[in-house]
């Protein structure tokens, strides 16, 4: 059985920014994961979104397929995605629905929504949630900047948070997978691509992290549920920015036999923002490990590897 990990708890409403940012630094260096409490997204809204999540995935497949994934927005059916093809030939036992930026002035409006007649108020609930989590994420990023010995507004000033390329992903992991003859994963081992991810779940377990991604055999530890808290993790772009100081930790979701719902919010920078080693994270003896890259190009490449398109 996997050990349960005791992750640090960060209070977004704390008035002591110095102590909070220093706790964030420690959490990101040691785990790349932490719990976020007092984040400003009310429990009622979280429950409403979880309910909406369930209603959506309960729709007939035919209805969901009308919203099949285009431009990384919309529905991806069961087994269609494999985050780690080396571990399992069959895709992940999850279905998902992606919602991209609500105002996308550069590329026209790309989000897809189930019709209001089928799921009344669904779109407005999801939009409300998207805005609220984005707001919490932006506040958190200011503390992350302080944690990196940068100005509080650093990520705003370099344009990362100017129309950020953020995605809300609703997820459903079915409980009953029928007879399976190979190891199945709800979500196979992966790290997230962006700056930070804010995850909310229905409390059903299954999420595990591997703190040492280069070490074999991999050691997986359970992440337990803290009611009302977001589970926050560092993504690969933040790892690149920080020259590996902040870890983009490998994680996965194992099937538990119980149906599970979750919502992951990926806070990713504006596509034109260049992700390059921060001055506070390198020195002559510790030069930049990753070349600069445009955030949009990096994301596109990662999506291509995951979906083949």
Ligand X SMILES: O=C(O)CCC(=O)C(=O)O
> Would you tell me which residues interact with ligand X (CB under 6 A)?
169, 171, 187, 192, 199, 201, 207, 251, 253, 262, 264
192 near Fe ion (CB under 5 A):
yes
Burial of residue 186 (number of CB atoms within 10 Å: 0-12, 13-18, 19+): buried
Q: Which residue has the tokens 């504006």?
A: 270
Residue 262 binding result from ligand X, Fe ion, none, given CB thresholds of 5 to 8 Å by partner type: ligand X
Q: How many residues bind Fe ion (CB under 5 A)?
A: 1
221: nearest Cα among 52, 5, 57: 5
Which of 154/246 has CB closer to ligand X? 246
Least distance between Fe ion and beta carbon 248 (Å): 10
CB contact burial 201-216 (16+ within 10 A = b; e otherwise): bbebbbbbbbbebeee
Pull the structure tokens for residue 100. Answer: 């991209």
Mutual angle of helices 122-147 and 43-57, in 10-degree steps: 120
Nearest residue to Fe ion, by Cβ distance, number only: 192
Least distance between ligand X and beta carbon 268 (Å): 12
Least distance between ligand X and beta carbon 233 (Å): 8
Give the pairing type, strands 3-5 and 221-223.
parallel
The secondary structure of the chain in percent helix, strand, coil, rounded to multiples of 5, reads 30, 20, 50
Least distance between Fe ion and beta carbon 263 (Å): 12
Which of 69/169 has CB closer to ligand X? 169
Least distance between ligand X and beta carbon 64 (Å): 18
Which of 158/171 has CB closer to Fe ion? 171
Which of 114/255 has CB closer to Fe ion? 255
Spatial distance between the Cα atoms of 301 and 9, rounded to a whole number of angstroms: 33
Residue 247 binding result from ligand X, Fe ion, none, given CB thresholds of 5 to 8 Å by partner type: none
Residue 172 host element (H or E): strand 167-173
Least distance between Fe ion and beta carbon 192 (Å): 4
Per-residue contact string for residues 62-91; x = within reach of Fe ion by CB under 5 A: ------------------------------
92 near Fe ion (CB under 5 A):
no
């Amino acid at each position: 059985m996997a050990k349960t990990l005791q992750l640090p708890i960060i209070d977004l409403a704390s008035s002591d920014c110095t102590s909070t940012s220093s706790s964030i630094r420690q959490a990101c260096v040691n785990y790349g994961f932490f719990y976020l409490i007092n984040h400003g997204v009310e429990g009622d809204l979280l429950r409403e979104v979880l309910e909406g999540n369930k209603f959506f995935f309960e729709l007939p497949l035919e209805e969901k397929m009308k919203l099949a994934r285009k431009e990384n927005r919309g529905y991806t059916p069961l087994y269609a995605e494999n985050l780690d093809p080396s571990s399992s030939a069959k895709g992940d036992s999850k279905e998902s629905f992606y919602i991209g930026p609500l105002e996308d002035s550069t590329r026209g409006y790309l989000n897809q929504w189930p019709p209001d007649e089928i799921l009344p108020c669904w779109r407005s609930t999801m939009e409300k949630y998207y805005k609220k989590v984005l707001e919490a994420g932006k506040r958190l990023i200011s503390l992350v900047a302080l944690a990196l010995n940068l100005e509080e507004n650093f990520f705003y000033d370099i344009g990362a948070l100017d129309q950020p390329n953020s995605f809300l992903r609703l997820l459903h992991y079915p409980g009953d997978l029928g007879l399976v003859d190979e190891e199945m994963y709800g979500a196979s081992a992966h790290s997230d691509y962006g700056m930070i991810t804010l995850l909310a779940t229905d409390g059903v377990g299954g999420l595990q992290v591997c703190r040492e991604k280069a070490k074999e055999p991999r050691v997986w530890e359970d992440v337990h549920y803290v009611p009302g808290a977001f589970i926050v993790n560092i993504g690969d772009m933040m790892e690149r920015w920080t020259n590996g100081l902040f870890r983009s930790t490998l994680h996965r979701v194992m099937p538990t036999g119980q149906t599970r719902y979750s919502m992951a919010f990926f806070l990713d920078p504006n596509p034109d923002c260049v992700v390059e080693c921060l001055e506070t994270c390198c020195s002559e003896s510790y030069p930049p490990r990753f070349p600069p890259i445009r955030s949009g190009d990096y994301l596109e490449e990662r999506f291509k590897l995951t979906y083949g398109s």
